[in-house]
Amino acid sequence: MCPSPPTVFDFDVQELDQEEREAKATLRAMDPATAAMGSLLPKLFELLHGEYKLQKGVKKDVQFLEREMRSIDAALRKVAMVPRDKLDDNSKIWANDVRELAYEMEDVVERFMVGVQGFEPAANPDGFKGFVKKVASLFTKGKARHQIADAIKGIKDQVQQVADRRDRYKIDDVETTLLAASTMVDPLDPRLMVQFKDQRELVGIEGPRDELIKRLAGEDGCVSRQQLKILSIFGFGGLGKTTLARAVYDKIQAEFVCKAFVSVGQKPNLKNVLVGILLRIDKASCHNVTLLDEVLLIEKLRELLTNKRYLIIIDDIWDMSSWDIIKCVFTDSKCGSRVITTTRIFEVAKEAGDIYKQEPLSPGRSKELFCMRLSIGKSKSPYHESVKISEKILQKCGGIPLAIITIASLLASKPVTDWPGVYDSIGFGNEDNKEVDTTRKILLYSYYDLPYYPRLCLLHLGIYPEDYEIKKDTLIWKWVAEGYVREEPGKGLFEVGERYLNMLIDRSMIQAVERPYHSIIYACRVHDLVLDMIHFLSEDESFVTASNSNMTSPRTTSRRLAINNEIIEQDGSVANMSMKQVRLYSATMCHFSTLPVLSNFKALRVLALEDCTFMGSERSVKPEDSPYHLNYLGRLIHLRYLGFSDRLVGFSLPGISMPLILEVPEEIGDLWFLQVLDLGRTGIKKLPQTVGRLTQLKCLRFGGSSMEVLDCTNLTSLEELQLHLVSPDFLKGLAKLKELRKFSLHFEEEHGNMLFKDLMGHVANLQKLQVIMVTCRHRPYPQPWSDYTGSVTLGHLRHLTVNGLLPGLPVWINSSCLPNLCHLYMELTAMKSQDMEILGRFSELITLTVLLYDYMAFPNAMEEGAFPKLRYLELKNFNQPRFVLGAMSSLECFRIIIGLEGTNGWDFHSLVNLPRLEKVDAEILGNTTMGINEDELQAHESLKQAHASLKHAVEIHPNHPALKLQIYHS
């Protein structure tokens, strides 16, 4: 007999409404201590209050789970606030158990949701076939509800055990540990040791010290020198900021009546800081100073410093609130007083007004410091005994003094023959060495000062190999898929993730990689010291297991597995091992002969392959038999991120072309939770129509050539869309994608004109757009697109690329329609003089590239003050560029591309009107032969004249900008 569907729990609607409001308020207010818990709690809420028709007993169990997990989450938040090394073993074990339990619960809940939701309603519910489908759906959903009931009963017992252990181990008492950790002065605080370092041990300090002293002296006349000046030394932990500040202090303190050097720290007691300044300025006035509060201390200090020339160093500031209070002390009596702060947080440094960015040591200075540390207590340095390995070790240290001192102290006790082993180890290993411990301590100060989710984002970087350039956009979307980016009102997930990335950069935890002159951070790198800290923490917390050529087999219990620089064979362990618990599988710079067997994964959230090579097969195979076919993709029901991005190269044999992945199965539409689908360069020709069902998709990148089947009308969560070729029908649904932040589209020439008009008509409705990139495939003689004459007002647009011929500057490209435009690239058939006036009024424009289809004179009708922020200008096929005095005052790089016929009569003398010019880059497109006939001789003479004019222009320019001239022969 067929089982009847489960009984629906009968509840009071008003009670549910009130309960739902309270639950939503709790969700908005909470700040989860772990990504696992932060991802689980909203799903328990959805399970309770969504249309899942839970049985009465199951609903009560889920309510119990939600209450208990919120209570556990509160305890976890306290645990997360305490540095890992300050926690007792019971707290660590308990936290790890909770994390694993949360993972298991989330998997169960998601499987139930997919099981209940993943069935389409019958097309004709009144027909016999529709009746059969409906009954079958009820049976399947009923089975899913019975399964969730059984699973939740088992989890309920585990949760009860975890809650009991929390009480038994007094986990909530870690708050006392946190208080003690924040108030106790660490006897091994590295800042204290640095302040009193022997000056003879310092290397390369003289140049930075003298530059800072020169800045402090003031070069703007007597008035400037007498005013109070505040300068901030900013840089990465371990660069020597405190050492430099101490060197400056020791050199000039005799010139000041009052002086003080005090450290603030991560969790400062500001009253103690103020008392410290007071004690150093006037000990006699410190009678009963402990009775004064912060306000009275500030008043007393201001009284003492008024009409005095003082020098005060405020070392190691971590937050704005502390600085806002401390700076109240400083009065300006026009006595030439100076204040120096040190910080590793850029936002704090900016408040000082003048920033000195501490740079790493040069290779020569690094070697000097390395040898000095090695030779302490010895007659000579052993550097010469192993020059090659020493240079490799120094390169790994990256010029950071603390790293050099640490590694040198570690090597000093080892024979030179052991040095290669030290270099080959990840970071500095787990050596029992005081300097190694000091290095990690300094970095951990920064780590524990981060908010919790940016901490997880930093730990995630442990999946990448050393010195790898990590693409910004790809990284942020991985953070989103992992659940490390939390939604904020009015902001997209990518925007929040970008703020996390900037936070890590501003706090010097990662290094930004910028495109020169563009003010665009497109990637980042992780210094080896920070990567060592990440690996240390990841191993301690079982966060990521990174496999490389030195590891024969990764741990099979890992939740996140990173494979770097490996060859993945079809019969290898990495390709075929059971990975049912793995949530992230990342491969970087690997060589594959087969994709991982997807059926081995049960809980996978992220599948990412970057910069990998795929080796083909000599035999012809069916798509379903290809080693690169995505078999079983539909079984990865938890998948959030599927990415095969950037520089993936297929392997071709004579007569055989092997794309990386032959096709994407229809089952991809069953991946309910998929947020990122990145198939930029994979050889896939088309996407199945089922991609249109992925309603949670945030990012879609596809470089295939057939897009006519994709219906995007339901993809309303999309924030980023990159498609290679689109059809007219595709644009019909574009206006519904209200969350779009970035899109890149390619058109065929035959549809280009019509598509461009349709596109611009839809774009006006997408008010969150920040980036638009439109490209049309050119034929030998492309026809210009007709200008779109409608209104396109986009207040958030920052980047606009129109890579297709326009008849002239469109009417909607002006500062009133696009007030925040920073980067503009366009191809035109003609340009009027007033066009430069229009473009010059863009107050935020940083880069401008204009390519003309035919030569024309450069319009010089610019107003004084035009292009105030422009740093990069690129022109193609322009004659006679003339730069007006007072315009383009921030231009640093000028690039010109011309043909030989366009070099006649060139005069570059007006370059002198660009006060910040640093680089001139010229490309001249010529013929394959020269010097044969009179025309070619004339062209050759024109080239020489153009070169001479350019050379003379940069020689007479006050900045003497770098000149690069390249000639390309067609």
Contact 575, 594 (CB under 8 A): yes
Measured CA to CA in angstroms, residue 538 lies from 84, 471, 545, 561, 685 at distances of: 11, 22, 8, 11, 39
CA proximity to 621, closest of 569, 591, 659, 590:
659
- What count of other Cβ atoms lies within 10 Å of the Cβ of residue 538? 21
- Residue 292's H or E segment, with its range, is none
What pLDDT, on a 0 to 100 scale, did the predictor assign at position 254?
85
What pLDDT, on a 0 to 100 scale, did the predictor assign at position 185?
36
| CA–CA gap between residue 489 and residue 463 (Å, rounded) | 30
- Residue 29, classed as helix, strand or coil, is helix
- What count of other Cβ atoms lies within 10 Å of the Cβ of residue 13? 7
Structure tokens at 432: 């029992």
Residues pairing with 921 in the sheet:
895, 964
- What count of other Cβ atoms lies within 10 Å of the Cβ of residue 120? 8
CA proximity to 589, closest of 660, 522, 645:
645
Phi, psi (deg, nearest 5) at residue 231:
-125, 140
Contact 443, 433 (CB under 8 A): no
Structure tokens at 1: 């007999």
Contact 840, 866 (CB under 8 A): yes
What pLDDT, on a 0 to 100 scale, did the predictor assign at position 694?
93
Measured CA to CA in angstroms, residue 496 lies from 61, 240, 354, 725, 766 at distances of: 35, 32, 29, 30, 19
| CA–CA gap between residue 120 and residue 690 (Å, rounded) | 13
- What count of other Cβ atoms lies within 10 Å of the Cβ of residue 937? 12
**Residue with the two structure tokens 């396109």:** 792
Alpha-carbon radius of gyration of the chain: 32
What pLDDT, on a 0 to 100 scale, did the predictor assign at position 16?
29
| CA–CA gap between residue 968 and residue 928 (Å, rounded) | 9
| CA–CA gap between residue 242 and residue 232 (Å, rounded) | 11
Beta strands in 597-664 (DSSP E): 606-610, 613-614, 641-645, 652-653, 656-657
| CA–CA gap between residue 760 and residue 745 (Å, rounded) | 12
CA proximity to 365, closest of 199, 209, 203:
203
Q: Which of the 8 DSSP states describes residue 886?
A: T
- Residue 878's H or E segment, with its range, is strand 872-879
Q: Which of the 8 DSSP states describes residue 806?
A: E
DSSP per-residue codes, 146-189: HHHHHHHHHHHHHHHHHHHHHHHTTGGGHHHHHHHHHHSPPTT-
HSE (side-chain half, CA atoms, 13 Å) at 190: 23
Query: How wide is the angle at C-alpha 242 spanned by C-alphas 337 and 356, nearest 5°?
Result: 65
- Residue 721's H or E segment, with its range, is strand 720-723
Give long-range contacts, CB 8 A cutoff, 24+ apart: 264-268.
Answer: 264/314, 264/315, 264/316, 264/317, 264/318, 264/322, 264/326, 265/189, 265/191, 265/316, 265/318, 266/318, 266/445, 266/448, 266/449, 267/182, 267/183, 268/318, 268/322
Phi, psi (deg, nearest 5) at residue 488:
-130, 145
Structure tokens at 732: 């019909």
| CA–CA gap between residue 858 and residue 622 (Å, rounded) | 58
Q: Which of the 8 DSSP states describes residue 676?
A: E
Measured CA to CA in angstroms, residue 370 lies from 160, 244, 374, 544, 860 at distances of: 56, 18, 6, 32, 56
Phi, psi (deg, nearest 5) at residue 532:
-60, -45
CA proximity to 352, closest of 327, 335, 334:
327
What pLDDT, on a 0 to 100 scale, did the predictor assign at position 707?
52
**Residue with the two structure tokens 């984002």:** 457
| CA–CA gap between residue 486 and residue 179 (Å, rounded) | 28
What pLDDT, on a 0 to 100 scale, did the predictor assign at position 608?
93
Instruction: Return averaged pLDDT per consecutive 10 residues of the chain, 970 residues in all.
Output: 32 32 30 50 63 64 72 70 67 71 73 57 40 40 61 69 65 51 42 48 76 79 72 85 88 90 82 85 72 86 91 89 90 90 88 84 84 59 66 79 73 75 57 59 73 88 88 95 88 93 84 89 86 81 66 57 79 58 87 80 89 62 67 88 66 44 82 90 78 92 68 90 80 86 80 71 86 78 68 90 86 92 92 87 95 71 86 86 88 86 68 93 67 52 77 91 78
| CA–CA gap between residue 733 and residue 342 (Å, rounded) | 53
Contact 832, 805 (CB under 8 A): no
Structure tokens at 799: 């980047």
| CA–CA gap between residue 634 and residue 642 (Å, rounded) | 12
| CA–CA gap between residue 530 and residue 510 (Å, rounded) | 8
